[in-house]
Amino acid sequence: MSARAVHVLFALLLLFSVGAQASHRLTLGVFAFRPKPVMLERYQPLADYLSERLGGTRVELEVLEQDELDEAVAALRVDLVMTNPSHYLELRSHNSLSGALATVVSAESGRAVSSLGGCIIVRAGRGDISSLRDLKGRRIAISGPRFLGGYQAQAFELMQAGVRVPEEVELLVSGRHDQVVEAVLEGRADAGFIRTGIIESLVAEGRLDASQLVVLNPQALAGYPYAVSTRLYPEWPFVALPHVDPQMVRRVSAALLGLEADHPAARAAGIAGFSPPLDYLPVETLARSLRLPPFDQAPAFSWRDVWSRYADFIVALGVVSALVVVLLVVIARRNRQLAQSVAALVEAQRALQHIAWHDALTGLPNRTLLADRLSQDMRRVRRSGAFLALAYIDLDGFKAVNDTHGHEVGDRLLVEIARRMRGVLRDVDTVARLGGDEFAAIFADLADAAASQPMIERLLATIAEPVPVDGLRLEVSGSIGVSYFPQDGEIEAEQLLRQADHAMYAAKLAGRNRCCVFAGDAAAQDMGTAAGGPPPASVV
């Protein structure tokens, strides 16, 4: 016999032995929602019924606590499972269980129901708890947080009523429904959560007087045989683990659906048989909204989730932000434009002011600005105790230049003489064009009247120098009248100018190209000529 043939034979033997073992025995794990002895008594007939219907296969019953059942499922030590719906979902998420084969139909006084719910009980005679909201802050006995009808259904209902569980209540975990009832009756808890049917069972067993308890938040449900405080959920599922042979699964299903309500096995278990599996989505929805296992892990959070949930808000925020940015840009731009136009205005105003205060031809201050400067200088002089001289200058022979050579030449002559006069004066002095060939100069801050004399002489000299224009050599001279400030008695700027004007006429009359000082109402003192005539004998 070859080595390969030995291998094949061995594999066949192994397969046969596993198959034989599987067809001999199935373990049915049932969650112990009541004390184990009660459970064994109730469900052994069901296991026997299945054994009988499955022929050569024996179904062994194991009543297990929730944790034990978890382990047994994980280790594949059970083949069939009956447990509460939320525990089924939890098991399914860990062990990739298939869908339920069937849903339990429970029976109560001849009525069949395939839904369970939660019951909220308080001791009769307690007037302080009459609604779900009254449970806020109370001590509540529960069998355990993993019970659907014994905790989760009630927690969901309280959440809908605005009481957060377990945050806003005090939970007393009592282990089993029977003990929850005891805790409430003995006053160790203000209220208790038990699944539907418990009260009715205890009453039937003679262990409870129904009038001792009040059911909170009773639901109006037609034909539902149990007192109930919550909405209904599908009854317990009957599940086959994935390793069970599909052929066997079909036979188990057929046996379950074929169980009649009056069969001893059904009667012992207190059920009316099994129905085709119900939708367990409501339980899943409940577990999700309470963040119970297996939905207690926060799902991974992505930007896509954020977008899908808060898209409107994000869009609104984006739009508002964009709007703010756009407005800021618009404001900034407008601001800059405004600043520019303000600057332009200021510039225009300055230009206008310059035009208003200066002579267009020579660029010298005009009569208006001269009057202004004169007033200022007079005020300053009055305060400082210094002297001020005002010279009125008229060009001699300018009209002849104009007549002979034309206005253009005359104008250029004026511009040149203006430039020269400006050149020989100090910075503090002002020379202005009053109009035509008349000019005026202010000599401010003089120590005494005589200090003006060198400057006046320089003026006469510079005016008298020949001016070349277009190859011509033009010669004019100046007649200057001077008045001084301060004088005896008050005097206005205008008056001072008139005095200098008078003195200038005197200089013209005295032969031109000279300077006269105003000396009283009608007289003017000849100060001498540019050519160096006798110096002025006296001043005012």
Partner 1 sequence: MQRRAFLLRLAALGAASVTAGGCASGAPLTVGIHPWPGYEPLYLARAFGWLPEGVSLREGQAAGDSVAALRAGAVDAAALTLDEVLVARASGVRLTLVLVFDSSVGADVVMARSPIQRPADIAGRRVAVEHGAVGEIVLSKLLDAAGLRDSDVTVLELPPDRQLEAWRAGEIDVAIGYEPSSSLLGREGARRIFDSRSFPGIIFDVLAVRHDRLSGQRSRIDALLAGHFRALNHLRVNREDALRRIAAWRGLSFEETERSFAGLSLPDVAGNRSHFDPSGKRGILKAARELNALMLRTGRLSVADDLVELIDPSFLPRSAGLG
Q: Considering the rule CB under 8 A, would residue 233 count as an interface residue with partner 1?
A: yes
Q: Considering the rule CB under 8 A, would residue 159 count as an interface residue with partner 1?
A: no
| Residue from the set 1, 220, 300, 522 that interacts with partner 1 by CB under 8 A | 220
Do strands 237-240 and 80-82 pair parallel, antiparallel, or not at all (unpaired)?
antiparallel
- Among the candidate windows 138-146, 228-236, 397-405, 462-470, which touches partner 1 by CB under 8 A? 228-236
| Residue from the set 17, 160, 349, 495 that interacts with partner 1 by CB under 8 A | 160
The kind and range of the H/E element at 379 are helix 367-384
Work out how close the CB of 47 gets to partner 1 at its nearest, in angstroms, rounded to a whole number.
27
Q: Considering the rule CB under 8 A, would residue 261 count as an interface residue with partner 1?
A: no
β strands within 32-71, DSSP E? 58-64
Whichever of 113 and 469 has its CB closer to partner 1, that residue is 113
Q: How far is CA 92 from the centre of its chain?
A: 43
- Three-state SS for 17? helix
| Residue from the set 167, 312, 470, 490 that interacts with partner 1 by CB under 8 A | 312
- Three-state SS for 482? strand
Q: Do residues 58 and 26 touch, judged by C-beta distance below 8 A?
A: yes
| Residue from the set 279, 347, 403, 494 that interacts with partner 1 by CB under 8 A | 279
Work out how close the CB of 265 gets to partner 1 at its nearest, in angstroms, rounded to a whole number.
24
Instruction: Tell me how far apart the alpha carbons of residues 460 and 523 are, in angstroms, rounded to a whole number.
Output: 21
| Residue from the set 38, 159, 185, 221 that interacts with partner 1 by CB under 8 A | 221
The DSSP secondary-structure symbol of 327 reads H
Work out how close the CB of 299 gets to partner 1 at its nearest, in angstroms, rounded to a whole number.
15
| Residue from the set 1, 3, 75, 281 that interacts with partner 1 by CB under 8 A | 281
Which tokens sit at 171? Answer: 């939970």
| Residue from the set 114, 366, 479, 525 that interacts with partner 1 by CB under 8 A | 114
Whichever of 85 and 144 has its CB closer to partner 1, that residue is 85
Q: Longest C-alpha distance within the chain, in Å?
A: 164
Amino acid letter, residue 431: V
- Annotate each residue in 463-492 with x if it binds partner 1 (CB under 8 A) or - if it does not, as one string: ------------------------------
Interface positions, 326-365, toward partner 1 (CB under 8 A): none
> How many residues bind partner 1, per CB under 8 A?
25
H-helix segments, 25-133: 36-53, 66-74, 85-95
H-helix segments, 75-160: 85-95, 153-160
Instruction: Tell me how far apart the alpha carbons of residues 387 and 381 are, in angstroms, rounded to a whole number.
Output: 6
Interface positions, 283-302, toward partner 1 (CB under 8 A): 285
- Among the candidate windows 57-65, 71-79, 112-120, 347-355, which touches partner 1 by CB under 8 A? 112-120
Work out how close the CB of 21 gets to partner 1 at its nearest, in angstroms, rounded to a whole number.
40
Q: Within 10 A of 376 (CB to CB), how many other CB atoms are there? A: 14
| Residue from the set 68, 123, 138, 224 that interacts with partner 1 by CB under 8 A | 224
Work out how close the CB of 224 gets to partner 1 at its nearest, in angstroms, rounded to a whole number.
5
Instruction: Tell me how far apart the alpha carbons of residues 375 and 494 are, in angstroms, rounded to a whole number.
Output: 9
Instruction: Tell me how far apart the alpha carbons of residues 54 and 79 are, in angstroms, rounded to a whole number.
Output: 14
Q: Considering the rule CB under 8 A, would residue 225 count as an interface residue with partner 1?
A: no
Instruction: Tell me how far apart the alpha carbons of residues 368 and 494 are, in angstroms, rounded to a whole number.
Output: 11
Instruction: Tell me how far apart the alpha carbons of residues 287 and 155 are, in angstroms, rounded to a whole number.
Output: 10
Nearest to 31 by CA among 59, 68, 79: 68
Whichever of 125 and 299 has its CB closer to partner 1, that residue is 299
Q: Considering the rule CB under 8 A, would residue 5 count as an interface residue with partner 1?
A: no
Work out how close the CB of 306 gets to partner 1 at its nearest, in angstroms, rounded to a whole number.
15
Do strands 139-142 and 170-173 pair parallel, antiparallel, or not at all (unpaired)?
parallel
Instruction: Tell me how far apart the alpha carbons of residues 103 and 111 are, in angstroms, rounded to a whole number.
Output: 16
Q: Considering the rule CB under 8 A, would residue 219 count as an interface residue with partner 1?
A: yes
The CA-based angle 98-198-116, given to 5 degrees, is 40
Whichever of 44 and 219 has its CB closer to partner 1, that residue is 219
- Among the candidate windows 79-87, 140-148, 217-225, 414-422, which touches partner 1 by CB under 8 A? 217-225
Instruction: Tell me how far apart the alpha carbons of residues 477 and 514 are, in angstroms, rounded to a whole number.
Output: 9
Q: Considering the rule CB under 8 A, would residue 311 count as an interface residue with partner 1?
A: yes
Q: Do residues 398 and 418 touch, judged by C-beta distance below 8 A?
A: no
- Among the candidate windows 218-226, 381-389, 413-421, 523-531, which touches partner 1 by CB under 8 A? 218-226
Enumerate binding residues for partner 1 (CB under 8 A): 113-115, 117, 160, 219-224, 231-234, 278-279, 281-282, 285, 311-312, 315-316, 319
